[in-house]
Amino acid sequence: MNGGDEDRRERAVAALRRAAFLLERAQASSYRCQAYRTAATVVEGTDAARLGSLVAAGSVTDLPSVGARTADVVARVWAGEPVPTLVELEEQAAAVDAARTDPGAVALHRALRGDLHAHSEASDGSTSVQEMVLAAMGLGREYLAVTDHSPRLRVANGLSAARLRAQVAQVRALAGAVAPFDVLTGIEVDVLDDGTLDQDPDLLDELDVVVASVHSQLRMDAPAMTRRLLRAVADPRTDVLGHCTGRQVTGRSRPPSQFDARAVFEACAEHGVAVEVNCRPDRLDPPHALLAIAVEVGCELSIDSDAHAPGQLDWTWTGCERVAAHGVPAERVITTWTAERVRARGRRGR
């Protein structure tokens, strides 16, 4: 096989994946992002010599799931030319980064070591665990927790106990291969209507990180929702209270759930449960008024991307800006801690 063709193929795959990453980061449509990721997978699996022949013939679109735009990326990489689409995306990302000048947010973002809430294709994410891990490594993180959904959330293909056990084995094997980067086992477990957690308790005990989130009956009356959250927070397996109000601020908007925030956050502080600062642009949860209460009562925070695609892992900037606005020191943000310390914290009380 031609070594030059192999190298060109690798660079073409990298360019396609980079374009997908930047599109995801910029909140482009999932269809457009996935087009680049799918093309990258197809190109990677194509014999390099055959790919070279297709480029020479101007027939890269003969490959399945490779359209005109993604074929153009391959052709330009093959010719050693700049890729206009990628250049434009890089310039847009650089402009966004240059505008981030708040000293507190910048310092906090630099202090981040990991992310404790991310999804893979095992539930409702768009890529494999491996691709999410590679993206986190590319961002300079030291660890990533894989927290796919639990069984009750069928719309998100939540993992049964058997599927979760298989994923745990996969994650542990991958962690050994990518060391010193660390991959933490985890779950975003549904908080059921009565406040119990939607997974085998013994299996939850084995995980590094348990993010407990409400996804159903979000309009429950405030006293009932308060009782529900208090029970979830009191469970010694809960490490992080995920997107606590469940609100949606863009697209199909959804008002926040109502509950006694002071009582819930005081319970979080008492039981050592971190309050998640969810960085998804459509959530930005909790709202600033509730975040101020969490800070006031002494809660630890977890700045998490809740990423469902690799580029979304870079959404943590938003969380850093929101936390910095409340003057919270990095030490109270557990995603600035080492993986070892996060693990030890998670097993406390179990």
pLDDT classification of 1: cutoffs 50, 70, 90 = very low
Per-residue pLDDT of 23-78, as tens digits, reads: 999 999 999 999 999 999 999 999 999 999 999 999 999 999 999 999 999 999 99
- Asked if residue 347 has pLDDT above 80, the reply is no
Percent helix, strand and coil across the chain, each to the nearest 5: 55, 10, 35
Instruction: State how far the Cα of 156 lies from the Cα of 261, in Å rounded to an integer.
Output: 27
H or E element at residue 164: helix 161-178
- Exposed, middle or buried by CB within 10 Å (0-12, 13-18, 19+), for 69? middle
Per-residue pLDDT of 79-109, as tens digits, reads: 999 999 999 999 999 999 999 999 999 999 9
Q: Residue 270: what pLDDT?
A: 97
Of the candidates 146, 28, 49, the residue with the CA atom closest to the CA atom of residue 37: 28
Per-residue pLDDT of 292-340, as tens digits, reads: 999 999 999 999 999 999 999 999 999 999 999 999 999 999 999 999 9
Per-residue pLDDT of 178-211, as tens digits, reads: 999 999 999 999 999 999 999 999 999 999 999 9
pLDDT classification of 348: cutoffs 50, 70, 90 = low
The pTM of the full predicted model, rounded to 2 decimals, is: 0.95
